[in-house]
Amino acid sequence: MLNEYETFYFRRDLTYLTYLLLKCDESKRSGEIRSEIEFVKNILSKAS
């Protein structure tokens, strides 16, 4: 279980990764970012 401090940083990172995904074009990098977003989302869903 994550505490409030950890949850804040996970949410901040998820927001940043989402921004990067929207900013970059459809390339290998966007695939990597998408998998990072899924990873963070999975952690957040376990935390809540």
DSSP for 6-45, written as a single string: HHHHHHHHHHHHHHHHHHS-SSHHHHHHHHHHHHHHHHHH
Residues 6+ apart with CB under 8 A from 47: 1, 2, 6, 7, 10
How much is the average pLDDT of 25-44? 73
pLDDT score of 48 more than 70: no
d(CA 2, CA 4): 7
pTM, 2 dp: 0.41
Q: Considering the chain, what is the average pLDDT of its residues?
A: 76
pLDDT score of 47 more than 80: no
* CB atoms inside a 10 Å sphere around CB 47: 13
pLDDT single digits (tens) 12-26: 888 888 777 777 655
pLDDT band per the 50, 70, 90 thresholds, residue 46: confident
